[in-house]
Amino acid sequence: MFSIRNFNRSKPILFLLILFPSMIWAYQFIAGNLGVNPIERLMDEFGLMALRLIILTLMISTIANIRQLKSIVVFRRMIGLFAFYYVCLHFSTYIFLDHFFDIEFIIKDIIKRPFITFGFISFLCLIPLAFTSTNKMVKRLSYKLWKKIHYLIYPAAILSSFHFYVLVRADKTEPMIYMGIIVFLLFERIVKKFIFHRPLAR
Amino acid sequence: MKILSSEITPYKTYLNRRKFIKGSLASALLATVSTSAFANHDNNSSIYNKYLNESDKLNSYEEITTYNNFYEFGTHKKHPHLNSGNFKPRPWTIKIDGLVKKPQTYDLEKILSNVTIEDRVYRLRCVEAWSMVIPWQGFQLSELIKMAEPLSSAKYVQFVTVFRPEEMPGQQKRTIIWPYREGLRMDEAMNPLTILATGLYGHEIPNQNGAPIRLVVPWKYGFKSIKSIVEIRFLDKQPETSWETLAPWEYGFYANVNPNVDHPRWSQSTERRIGEFKRRNTLMFNGYEEEVAHLYKDLDLTKFY
């Protein structure tokens, strides 16, 4: 049941499932029923989705350590790329819709405001991951180097959850939950690698 | 792209519509529903035009009542609209105490029968860098202060929101320290722009907007305009206020709208007017500079933000 073949077969379904929300939000935005402050809403939805998908990729690696479930790792690349897709949508909403190409303002905003700096660095971290996501790239770079590059997912996850945490004004429960999950997943890896000296899931 | 809401009513159309309602059967119906809120209603609204700019268009009733920061009903903007159905704004009393001649508790009806309700169309600028234009009905806070007869030692006014966790689900969680508290300096409280609002768009003020009575201080960030007030206290010292207590490096006692002093986490130089696509430049004192700048001429606004 949990074979690579079955998982590969269900990929198109997962693809549509993750793509679907962005289509819905884009449609609602154009149709004008995304609430009273549609630009803010669009930015929030894209950003939150991106963060959830980043966390999901980390979870998949952890779950793949369970022998019976190790094939689940076949979903990881697609989910990771979708995380990048939603980050791009989130970032373009900020640039094009929220600030309407006011580049001078945006650069100042990125430098001056820690929470935007965190979000931006997280975005930068994800770029090399997306560009080295193909099998060809893994071969070209050697698996060792490729793996090193992909450790960037950790700063990306931490910074993006912090980006969300700082943004919230009073009730920090939701960002705390995401940060908790990330810390747990990181801790699990550290224990495994440095205490049990087991290689991490590939 | 339907960002510009077709429901946004130009101010003139709104006034004409109000005149029409006044002369029609609808007003009779409206009057029976909301007599108390509109006792002594002064319909001479033209004098408030001067507070608006030509580019200021009224936000729709829907926009004003579905996008609110009122953490007593939850922290999401749509929560107050969704979670305020069980709140009972009547009967209502306001306790007036502290440095006054005779501390006492007033029935809201009694207060309303002694004041003149006016139309006031104000810009509202939230500290989160969005804004609206809202047609309130209310009366000048100065009228109530005169009624309360504060002592000459009273230099500040403190306001307290009702605490009813069973009706206000947000209060069951300690997101901020309940009850919500705000304050003004006496001269700010006496300024003719400062009102206590009891109506919105000619209706009694909805629960999510601070029923049955709330403060509106249009040259300050929205969080100063405390909602559902049950207590007004006159003090000789600057009172603690909720947001300042929670994060003093981010929110000050004054909280005057100021495009030159940024919030540490975001710029205050521009704002998104709800219903508009491009951001606007934020105006000093939210565009009420002429009326209030003199109150702060000896104050360093970068320190007393």
B6 neighbourhood in chain A, CB within 8 Å: none
B124 phi/psi in degrees, rounded to 5: -120, 125
Q: Which of A36, A40, A41, A42 to mutate to test the interface with B (most CBs of B within 10 A)?
A: A36
Which amino acid would we find at residue B86?
N
**Domain-embedded: residue A200:** no
A106 interfaces chain B, CB cutoff of 8 Å: no
Say how many Å lie between the first and final Cα of chain A, rounded: 21
Closest chain B CA to residue A173? B175
Asked if residue A183 belongs to a domain, the reply is yes
Neighbours of A151 (CB within 10 A): 12
Distance CA B268, CA B276 (A): 17
Both tokens of B30, joined, read 């409206």
A77-90: per-residue pLDDT in tens? 999 999 999 999 99
Residue A17 domain flag? yes
Q: Is A169 on the interface with B (CB under 8 A)?
A: yes
User: Which residue range forms the structural domain that includes residue A147?
Assistant: 4-195
Q: What is the pLDDT along chain B (305 residues), one digit of tens a residue?
A: 333 333 444 444 555 455 444 444 344 444 444 444 444 455 545 444 557 877 898 999 999 999 999 999 999 999 999 999 999 999 999 999 999 999 999 999 999 999 999 999 999 999 999 999 999 999 999 999 999 999 999 999 999 999 999 999 999 998 889 999 999 999 999 999 999 999 999 999 999 999 999 999 999 999 999 999 999 999 999 999 999 999 998 999 999 999 999 888 888 999 999 999 999 999 999 999 999 999 999 888 988 89
For residue B269, the one-letter residue type is S
Q: B87 and B163 in contact (C-beta within 8 Å)?
A: no
Interface contact B203, partner A, CB < 8 A:
no
Token pair for residue B250? 């981010």
| DSSP for residue B38 | G
Question: Does residue A129 fall inside a structural domain?
Answer: yes
Please give the average per-residue pLDDT across A194-200, as a whole number.
Answer: 71
Q: Which residues of A touch B5 (CB under 8 A)?
A: 32
- Facing A36 at nearest CB: one of B2, B71, B274: B274
Asked if B52 and B124 touch (Cβ cutoff 8 Å), the reply is no
Q: Does B128 touch chain A (CB under 8 A)?
A: yes
Q: Any chain B CB within 8 A of the CB of A1? A: no
Chain B residues inside the 8 Å CB shell of A29: 1
Give domain status of residue A201, yes or no: no
Contact B71 A170 (CB under 8 A): yes
**All structural domains of chain B:** 28-296 (3.90.420.10)
What residue of B is the nearest CA neighbor of A117?
B265
Is A100 in the B-facing interface, judged by CB distances under 8 Å? yes
Omega before A12 within 30 of 0, i.e. cis: no
Least CB–CB distance from B2: residue in A31, A36, A40: A31
φ, ψ dihedrals at B234, nearest 5°: -100, 130
In chain A, the number of structural domains is 1
Chain B interface includes A171 (CB < 8 A):
yes
User: The pTM is what?
Assistant: 0.84
Residue A112 lies in a domain: yes
Q: Encoding tokens for residue B186?
A: 């006496």
CB pairs under 8 A between A and B: 63
Is A15 part of a structural domain of the chain? yes
A202 in any annotated domain: no
